């Protein structure tokens, strides 16, 4: 059986990702389950030189270096 994926959903997700990635990383207050996640500003500064996106900051686990 094939998995159905809505093209409209893909466009919507892409737009949300673009919006997230356009915000300066040091201006984002990250939350998880409604709770603010404390991210060390030094970690943010280091990450900005990687050339990766704000989404990558989370998905790569880089943000967890603050823990």
Q: Is residue 9 part of a domain?
A: no
Please check whether residue 6 lies inside any domain of the structure: no
49 occurs within a structural domain: yes
Over residues 8-52, the pLDDT tens digits come to: 999 999 999 999 999 999 999 999 999 999 999 999 999 998 999
Among 4, 5, 2, 3, smallest CA distance to 14 is for 5
- Give the pLDDT confidence score for residue 30 in this predicted structure: 96
Q: Read out DSSP for 1-45?
A: -PPP--HHHHHHHHHHHHHHHHS-GGG---EETTEEP---HHHHH
Query: Is residue 32 one of the residues assigned to a domain?
Result: yes
pLDDT for residue 67: 55
- Structurally, the chain folds into a number of domains equal to 1
Could you tell me if residue 53 is inside a domain? Answer: yes
């Amino acid at each position: 059986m094939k998995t159905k994926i809505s093209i409209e959903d893909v466009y919507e997700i892409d737009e949300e990702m673009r919006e997230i990635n356009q915000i300066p990383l040091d201006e984002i207050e990250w939350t998880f389950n409604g709770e603010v996640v404390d991210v060390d500003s030094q970690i943010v500064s280091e990450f900005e030189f990687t050339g990766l996106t704000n989404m990558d900051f989370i998905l790569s686990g880089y943000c967890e270096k603050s823990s």
